[in-house]
A and B are shown apart, each in its own frame.
Chain A
Amino acid sequence: MASALPSSSTTPSASDVNSSLSAAEREAIKAATFQRLHPRIYLERFLEEKIRPDGRSTAENIEDPNAWRNVEVNVGSITTALGSALVRIGKTTVVCGIKAEICEPELDNPDEGFLVPNVDLPALCSPKFKPGPPTEEAQVLSERLNEALGNGMLSLSSLCICSGKSAWVLYVDATVINYDGNVFDATLLAMVCALKNVSLPHADFDPELHRTVCTRSETDPSKPARKLAIQEDLIPLAFSFGVFAGSHLLPDPTASEETLLDTYISVILDAHAQVLAVSQLGAGVDNYEALGQGVNNLPSSREADALARCISLAKKRQAVLIKKVYNTST
């Protein structure tokens, strides 16, 4: 299938090019044109056949792992950052890097350090973003990530160097390189893997000079760098779904599907598949029959609503994904 619609300014020899294409390529261009002109009908036609445009299945069969895109995680590739991770969910690519700096703790919380997550949606990742200050979407994403990471997974008191005098502040910055839908899941995974990758250098606070001095583990082996005190049980993993036309539940939507959704559901689970947070923006599913088989093979009209189904789908997916996260991010 042709990878991209030819750009609007066609080269002078466009008609010559078209005549030399095979029938399959011409069909592909027609399909791509149809998608650009009538995106909604394009998606509807696919969903009628119980399949999505990229070949995945919809959430009808709860056992089907094919509804989710492939996840790839790569940690520790950025040498200038203390911890880093690159996550790819399908084509969505997010890079997360962590820098640590020293500061004075707040007066109200003298024993706590700081965790500052931020996500950046640069103009590079999608044609809908322009260069400039963070858009509304970026701000909302940053805030949601701040809440997701602030659930106690990382003990802020472990970031304290000297009570009331000196503490670590971890700047967790994520940059989206390719925006192909479901950025929240990818960014949360990247931040979690990057945090697990961090090696914090040993720091001593000198009360006479009022300054903090760090030691590299190579120069002084008695003061080694340490990993962050992360509670493995509370590590969050997010799973997002979309509802199209009130009747089709689409896990892990791509960018082209995202623009057509009326409802967006997000479920965050911890390491033991317990629900940490859910969010539903929109009405949900009207047509229960279209959801297909229920959780316990009951007819779907017995299903409470789309949210319950999403939670059960997320738990199924998490069992598969958690092995990948733990294997690649030690």
Chain B
Amino acid sequence: MQSAFDRRRINGPEDSYHPVFANKIQESPSNVHIIRENRKISDIRPIFLQPGLISQANGSAYIEMESMKIACSVYGPRQSKNTAYNEKGRLNVEVKFAPYSCELRRSPLRDAEDRSIAVAIQQALLSSVQLEHFPKSTIDIFLVIIEADGIEGCIASGSIAASTALADAGIDMYGLVTSCATAVIGTDLWIDPTQEESNTASGTLILSCMPALGIVTNVWQSGRIAPSEILACIDACNDRCTDIHSVVAQALLDSAHNKI
């Protein structure tokens, strides 16, 4: 990995690369036959969700799903630096990968992947926040991905954490947003795929919705999925989202009880 000399950081050598391991089996993704241990194809990974972990923020949440760890904090409503008057508040989402979060070390400089995840999460949350109550204000949502396991997982867990953090901050919302991802592998739909599983999939779909209101806020699909399969994916995700919603609600309730 070429590291540009950044005078604001301690720099290592100019050029360093990820260690290559012997006995690495080189197979094309479609030939790899993976089995899912510990859970069924239609199960999501167990969620650990803790609101209020970051005392300095207005609201915060930490989510852990097996090997996915994301911390989220919400600051706001804060004054908008823009001079232009806007009737509705702005929702600003920023995502950052920690350098040690992925298999290959990520440079601390931000790149396009951070941005695309931030946009996906912002789209998922935009319809749920009552922005008309916050004119001239910005609500900042910052996420740090401490350990990542698949981009779809990041987007899904990130939006769950962000929605929990918004609730923890007491920001007016229409409902809690939950997300779930599905991968199409062969003819099966695998819910909540890991990095390895989504690499072998022909297509993935992420659904964000507000189960309490029965409204879909965002659908993000990539790869090759037949239209009938897409509808099946959305139905599967929708059921899971309802399950996740009860987990989130319980976590927020427990956290509120502990504050008293």
One of B23, B144, B147 near A80 (C-beta < 8 A): B147
Instruction: List residues 186-229 of chain B with CB under 8 A from any CB of chain A.
Output: none
Interface centre among B55, B75, B143, B172 (most CB of A within 10 A): B55
Which residues of the other chain, B, contact A177 by a CB distance below 8 angstroms? 53-54, 71, 144
Would A7 and B53 count as touching, CB distance under 8 A?
no
Give the residue name and chain of the B residue nearest to A138 (CB). B8
Q: How far is the CB of B61 from chain A (nearest CB, A)?
A: 11
* Distance in angstroms between the alpha carbons of A73 and B102 in the assembled complex: 22
Would B10 and A104 count as touching, CB distance under 8 A?
no
Instruction: List residues 132-177 of chain A with CB under 8 A from any CB of chain B.
Output: 133-134, 138-139, 142-143, 146, 169, 171, 173, 175, 177
Stretch touching chain B among A93-101, A261-269, A299-307: A93-101
Give the residue name and chain of the A residue nearest to B75 (CB). A127
* Distance in angstroms between the alpha carbons of A91 and B56 in the assembled complex: 9
One of A125, A131, A216 near B54 (C-beta < 8 A): A125
Which residues of the other chain, A, contact B18 by a CB distance below 8 angstroms? 101-102
- The count of residues in chain B whose C-beta lies closer than 8 Å to any C-beta of chain A is 55
Query: Does B9 count as interface, using CB distance less than 8 angstroms?
Result: yes
Q: How far is the CB of B43 from chain A (nearest CB, A)?
A: 20
* Distance in angstroms between the alpha carbons of A231 and B28 in the assembled complex: 45
Would B11 and A116 count as touching, CB distance under 8 A?
yes
Would A116 and B20 count as touching, CB distance under 8 A?
no
Would B146 and A103 count as touching, CB distance under 8 A?
no
Query: Does A122 count as interface, using CB distance less than 8 angstroms?
Result: yes
Q: How far is the CB of B194 from chain A (nearest CB, A)?
A: 12
Give the residue name and chain of the B residue nearest to A211 (CB). B20
Query: Does A41 count as interface, using CB distance less than 8 angstroms?
Result: no
Would B56 and A81 count as touching, CB distance under 8 A?
no
One of A81, A116, A133, A214 near B100 (C-beta < 8 A): A81
Query: Does A118 count as interface, using CB distance less than 8 angstroms?
Result: yes
Q: How far is the CB of A54 from chain B (nearest CB, A)?
A: 11
Provided the pairs A3-B55, A91-B55 are in contact, do residues A216 and B10 lie with their beta carbons within 8 angstroms? no
Which residues of the other chain, A, contact B147 by a CB distance below 8 angstroms? 78-81
Query: Does A203 count as interface, using CB distance less than 8 angstroms?
Result: yes
* Distance in angstroms between the alpha carbons of A81 and B102 in the assembled complex: 8
Query: Does B37 count as interface, using CB distance less than 8 angstroms?
Result: no
Would B105 and A127 count as touching, CB distance under 8 A?
no
Which residues of the other chain, B, contact A118 by a CB distance below 8 angstroms? 9-10, 99, 108
Provided the pairs A124-B73, A124-B142 are in contact, do residues A99 and B99 lie with their beta carbons within 8 angstroms? yes
Would A102 and B22 count as touching, CB distance under 8 A?
no
Interface size class of A (residues with CB under 8 A): 35 or more
Would B99 and A169 count as touching, CB distance under 8 A?
no
Query: Does B181 count as interface, using CB distance less than 8 angstroms?
Result: no
Would A102 and B19 count as touching, CB distance under 8 A?
yes
Which residues of the other chain, A, contact B21 by a CB distance below 8 angstroms? 201, 213-216
Instruction: List residues 1-26 of chain A with CB under 8 A from any CB of chain B.
Output: 3-4, 6-9, 11
* Distance in angstroms between the alpha carbons of A80 and B194 in the assembled complex: 13
Give the residue name and chain of the B residue nearest to A216 (CB). B21
Which residues of the other chain, A, contact B94 by a CB distance below 8 angstroms? 123, 131
* Distance in angstroms between the alpha carbons of A84 and B108 in the assembled complex: 17
Query: Does B148 count as interface, using CB distance less than 8 angstroms?
Result: yes
Would B77 and A7 count as touching, CB distance under 8 A?
yes
Query: Does B36 count as interface, using CB distance less than 8 angstroms?
Result: no
Instruction: List residues 210-267 of chain A with CB under 8 A from any CB of chain B.
Output: 211-216, 219-220, 255
Q: How far is the CB of B44 from chain A (nearest CB, A)?
A: 19
Would B53 and A178 count as touching, CB distance under 8 A?
yes
Query: Does A106 count as interface, using CB distance less than 8 angstroms?
Result: yes
Write out, one digit per residue, whether chain B residues 42-65 have a CB within 8 A of any chain A CB (1) or not (0). Answer: 000000000011111110000000
* Distance in angstroms between the alpha carbons of A57 and B156 in the assembled complex: 45
Which residues of the other chain, A, contact B69 by a CB distance below 8 angstroms? 77-78
* Distance in angstroms between the alpha carbons of A77 and B146 in the assembled complex: 10
A-B contacts, 28 of them at CB < 8 A, read A7-B169, A9-B137, A80-B100, A81-B147, A84-B100, A97-B101, A99-B99, A100-B19, A101-B16, A102-B16, A102-B18, A103-B15, A105-B13, A106-B13, A118-B9, A123-B94, A124-B143, A139-B8, A143-B10, A169-B16, A173-B98, A173-B99, A177-B71, A178-B53, A212-B19, A212-B20, A216-B21, A255-B56
Interface set of B (CB-CB < 8 Å, partner A): 1, 8-13, 15-23, 52-58, 67, 69, 71-73, 75-77, 94, 96, 98-103, 105, 108, 133-134, 137, 140, 142-144, 146-148, 169-170, 172, 259
Taking A171-B105, A214-B22, A215-B22 as given, write out 13 further A-B residue pairs in contact, using a Cβ cutoff of 8 Å, ordered by the A residue number.
Answer: A3-B52, A4-B55, A7-B76, A9-B77, A78-B100, A102-B17, A104-B15, A118-B9, A118-B99, A125-B56, A127-B57, A131-B96, A201-B21
